[in-house]
Structure 1
Amino acid sequence: MTAKIIAVANQKGGVGKTTTVVNLAASLAHHGKRVLVIDLDPQGNATTGSGVDKSSIESGVYQVLLGEAEVKDAVVRSEAGGYAVLAANRTLAGAEVELVQEIAREMRLKNALEPVLNDYDYVLIDCPPTLTLLTLNGLVAAEGVMVPMVCEYYALEGISDLVATVRKIRQAINPRLDIVGIVRTLYDSRSRLSQEVTEQLQAHFGKQLFATTIPRNVRLAEAPSHGLPALAYDAKAKGTLAYLALAEELLSRK
């Protein structure tokens, strides 16, 4: 079985994309799945959140995109998370400029992943919050997009922009791309606004809306500063249990 490749994306920042990538990866690994996390954001937060020192990266996603390294040689292990990481740091910002002149520049990640697809069950791609060439590489490589979102009205506008982007990429480059699901993050079940936005999401997206919600949780917010997924930091925290439930829901959607 080849890996299921999921890009975690939202053109709005601060919605928990990286938190979702790191903790979903750790939760899938906890369920016995072989997982690769690809950090496509030059800030490298998924890298540090996985316990990998981004300043010590010799080969990472930057070298892979430029054809200077192969994925199998560039991945490192997240000991805390139990998954593999294709790491990123600030040098990745330069890839945008360097790839502009290249032929099929939006296909670089997809082509690089092909030799290792049998080595993993899931590949999770942490995309930058803007639609850059890096994000485009992630969406072209993926077969599905997971969208973390906060239940606010402005978030609904952002999600409609992303759906339009996914549709364009599906028509032009990647016919298999689709929305895997929408995850409500930083969720407050007592908020009337959260309930109203949820109703709108259910009306528009139906089964694509994950039933699992990720609550606001201090332990979830603290974990990255220790270089740990929440599962390794506090296995009993509400946020940790929510991501374990999200992993189970994703696995049940085959």
Structure 2
Amino acid sequence: MRRVIFNQKGGVGKSTITCNLAAISAAEGKKTLVIDLDIQGNSTHYLLGRKVADPDASIAHFFKETLSLNLFGKPQNAGLNGAIHETPFPNLHIVPSHPELEPLQSRLESRYKIYKLREALDALGEFEHIYIDTPPVLNFYSRSALIAARHCLIPFDCDAFSREALYNLLAVIGEIKADHNDALEIEGIIVNQFQGRANLPQQLVNQLISEGHPVLQTKLSPSVKVRESHSESKPLIHYAPEHKLSEEYKALHREIHERRH
């Protein structure tokens, strides 16, 4: 099961949602992989407790290898295996990000390497669940993720700017589905930082539902525990397993997987 977590708007909780859903999958015994395509490397730091200094031990090495040619003029065998790191949490692995992704981007675009991530994941085969964290912009890496994935989760925080950004995002996903990945589907919109007692968030959510958008029933509350768990480099299920937000993440994970059956 391959999921991409994507929104062109920053600060909506992509990395937090990616890592916490992946941590729950792993805790349930599923061999799980996170791929961090965001140059900021927030998922990498969250799960490893550090950034990865060596670009050859990161996703940057994989993309760099796709640009290389061997003596016969053919691309190198650029697999992901050499960049997969174990995390401190059982069954949970990560392909870390690296700042070298930035200078590689224009070369990858010009050489049209947009399908290479999908090909690598097709060849990987050993992970039951794969979660892809993306940069908060539509660029080569986020497009590669949308082409490689089967399901897209969209984090949404409740303000008018997020709503307009969501409409643009839905159009982008529809275009990629039509042109590059007809298997891609929007699995759901995740309402994050939801304040149920405030009028505006509830109005925005109700409007999206009335328009027929796939808003997931489980909503994530704001909590200082998120920042604390980032600081400790422990997903919530390991940092504060009985906390309200941890329970919400578990409910969200159940809802997503029940929708598949």
TM-score range, shorter-chain basis?
over 0.9
Task: Return the offset for 1:200.
Answer: 0.9
Residue pair 1:29, 1:82 contacting (<8 A) in 2 also:
yes
Q: Does 1:220 align with 2:226?
A: yes
Task: Write out per-residue CA displacement over residues 11-69 of structure 1, whole angstroms, 9 at most, x where no aligned residue.
Answer: 11111111000101011112222211010001100000112532344421111122265
Letter in 1 for 2:120: A
Query: Tell me, which stretches of 5 or more residues in structure 2 are unaligned?
Result: 67-77
Change (3 A) 1:218 1:26: same
8 Å CA contact 2:29–2:91 kept in 1: the answer is no
**Structure in which a larger fraction of residues adopt strand:** 1
Counterparts of residues 108-123 of structure 1 (less than 5 Å): 108-117=116-125, 119-123=126-130
Distance of 2:122 and 2:185 partners within structure 1: 19
Across the aligned residues of Structure 1 and Structure 2, the Cα RMSD in angstroms comes to 1.5
Letter in 2 for 1:130: V
Q: Which residue of 2 aligns with 1:60?
A: 58
Q: How does 1:1-20 map to 2 (within 5 A)?
A: 4-20=1-17
Unaligned runs of 5+ in 1: none
Question: What secondary structure does 1:148 align onto?
Answer: strand
Q: In structure 1, what is the equivalent of residue 86 of structure 2? A: 77
Query: Number of residue pairs matched?
Result: 248
State the one-letter code of the partner of 2:32.
Answer: V
Matches within 5 A, 1:47-196: 47-57=44-54, 58-67=56-65, 69-80=78-89, 82-102=91-111, 104-117=112-125, 119-196=126-203
Does 2:40 match 1:32? no
CA deviation map 1:172-209 (0-9, x unaligned): 11111121100000111111111101101211235x21
Which whole-Å deviations, capped at 9, do the CAs of 1:82-130 have from their partners, x for residues lacking one? 411010121121221231332x31112111111113x112111101011
Structure 1 contact 50–81 (Cα < 8 Å) conserved? no
Percent sequence identity is 28
TM-score (norm 1): 0.93
Judge which range, 51-60 or 130-139, deviates more.
51-60
Does structure 1 retain, via aligned residues, the 8 Å contact 2:153–2:190? yes
Q: Alpha-carbon deviation of 1:81?
A: 6.5
Higher helix share: 1
Code of the aligned partner of 2:186: I
The one-letter code matched in structure 2 to 1:11 is Q
Residues 1:199 and 2:199 are matched in the alignment: no
SS of match in other structure, 2:52: helix
